[in-house]
Chains A and B, each alone.
Chain A
Amino acid sequence: MKPPPFHYYDPGTVQEAIALLGSLDNAKLLAGGQSLMPMLNMRYVLPDHVIDLNRIPELSHIDESEDRIVIGAMTRQREIERSEFLARRCPIFREALIQVGHRQTRNRGTIGGSLCHLDPAAELPAVLAALDATIHVTGPQGSREVPIAEFPAFYMTPAIELDELVTSISFEPWPEGHKSAFVEFARRPGDFAIVGVAALLATNDAGEVLRAAVTLAGVAAGPVRCSAAEEQLVGAGIGDDLIRVAAETCRDIDAMEDVHAPSSYRQHLAAELVARAVQAAVDGPGAGLSR
C-alpha cells in the first residue's frame, strides 16, 4: 500500500496555503496525516495535489488567555494533552486526548485535522461542542467564524468551502475549578469509540449545578448536544437519582447504526455513559478514565 502520485506543496504561511488551495483542482490539505495518510496508502483518496500544512508555524499555538483560549489548528494533540495551562483551565482536553489513538499518533495528529476529518466517533469535536467553541476559517474572501454546532455539514464533511482552511479554534474557558470528564466505550484502548461523552459542570459551594454541558460522540455525523440532560442537571443538587434521571433522557436519542453496533446499543451506551461521565466529573480529575 503506497500513496498514489501527487504534486506536493509545503507553504510557509496561511496566505500561501490559501492561494494554492484556490488555484489547484482536486487538492487535499495534509495536517497531522493520521487519517489522510492511511487513506492515501489505501488509495481511498486520489488527490492531484497535496498541500502540507506542517511548515506553517503560525498555525501551531496555544494562547493562554483567561478570557478566551485560542488553539492553532496545527497544534499537535500531544501538545494539548501535555499543556499544564489546559490541564488547569480545561482538564477535559487531557482526559479526552488520552483516549484518542495512541501516543505515537497523538505526536503527529492535530486538533484542526481531527475537526476537519470529522470522524463521527472522534473525541475532540465532542469536547469542542461541549465548550461551544468557535471555529476560525480563512479563505480567499478573508476570515470568518463558524460556531461548532454549525460546523458539521454531513457525514465526515465540515461546513467550509473547498478553498477555505481552519486556522484556529477558540472558546471561553469555564470557571476555574469546574468539573469535567470524558468517558467512552471502545472495544480496545485506542480504538474508535462506539460512544463517547463529554461532560462539563459548574457548581456552587452547596454542590448545586449552575451550568452543565453534555455532548455525545459516535451517535451521529457530528457531536450531539444532550440538552434535556443538561436541563435536568442545572439548578439541582447532584445526587445518584438526579444523575440517573438526566442520563435517561439520552435513551431515546436518534443514534446511527453501523457494522460496529446497532442504534439500540448506542442508545443504551449513551444513557449509561452519560451517567458515568457526570459521576466521573463529580468524582474529580482522571475519574473518567477508569469508567
Chain B
Amino acid sequence: MSMTPEATDRRSISVTVNGQRHDVDVETRLTLADCLRHRLGLTGTHLGCEHGVCGACTVLVNGNTARSCLMLAVQADGAEIATVEGIASENGEWHPLQKAFHEHHALQCGFCTAGILTSMVEFLQENPDPDEPEVREALSGNICRCTGYQGIVQAVLDAARRLRSPNQESSS
C-alpha cells in the first residue's frame, strides 16, 4: 500500500539554477522538472511525455544533459542546473544556437526547442565540428513534430560554425 498524500515525505534542498542559488522545501517525489517549473517559476523547461522519450525537458545537471522528468528534485540537492533560461549571455545577448535557430526557422510551435537547445549546448561542446549525420544522431533524443528537422539541422551546423569562429555572421 502506498503512502497517503497527507503523509508525504519532504526535504529541504539547495540547488543552483543558472548561477542563482535556491533553497526550497520539496516533496521527495517531486520531479526536477516540476520543481523548476512550479517552485522556481522557470517555465522555459517544457514537459512533453513525462517518461523520458520526447526530450523537451532536457536540462544540464553539473554540465551534463539529463531528462528533468526522470530526476527527482532531491537528487539535484547541491547540483548546478542550467536551463534554457540560462544559455544566453548575462547581458541578454542570445547564444549562437539561439541566433541560428531564429535565422534558420528552426522552430515553429517552440515546445521542443528548450530541450533541443540544452542538448545541443552539450553536443557542440563535445563535438565542435560535426557533420550532418552526427547532428541528426545527436538530435535523435529530441522529438519535434512541427519542423521536419530540416531547419534545426541547418541551425545546429550554422551555430557550430559561429562557435568555432565567433566573429563570423551566419554563413548561409
Contact = CB atoms under 8 A, between A and B. Distances in A.
Contacts, number: 106
A8 B72 contact: yes
Contacts of A47: 2
Nearest to A98: B137
A37 B52 contact: yes
Contact of B9 (A6, A41, A46, A104): A6
Q: Is the interface of B mostly helix, strand, loop or mixed?
A: mixed
A34 B52 contact: yes
Interface string A32-45: 01100110111000
Contacts of A231: none
Interface stretch (B28-36, B103-111, B144-152, B161-169): B28-36
Interface in A220-269: none
A104 B141 CA distance: 7
B18 interface: no
Contacts of A102: 55, 140-141
A105 B141 contact: yes
A12 to B, nearest CB: 13
Interface stretch (B63-71, B80-88, B90-98): B63-71
A89 interface: no
Which of B11, B50, B52, B65 gathers most chain A CB within 10 Å?
Answer: B52
Q: Which residue among A5, A50, A190 has the maximum number of chain B CB atoms within 10 Å of its CB? A: A5
Interface residues of B, number: 37
Given A104-B55, A108-B70, A5 B2 contact: yes
B75 interface: yes
Contact of A4 (B29, B64, B66, B138): B29
Contact of B66 (A1, A6, A108, A188): A108
B45 interface: no
Nearest to B75: A54
B172 interface: no
Nearest to A107: B64
Given A1-B50, A33-B70, 16 more contacts: A1-B51, A2-B34, A3-B31, A5-B2, A5-B4, A42-B51, A48-B3, A50-B28, A78-B64, A101-B141, A102-B140, A103-B123, A104-B65, A105-B52, A107-B66, A108-B66
Interface of B: 1-5, 7-9, 11, 27-29, 31, 34, 50-52, 55, 58, 61, 64-67, 69-72, 74-75, 119, 122-123, 137-138, 140-141
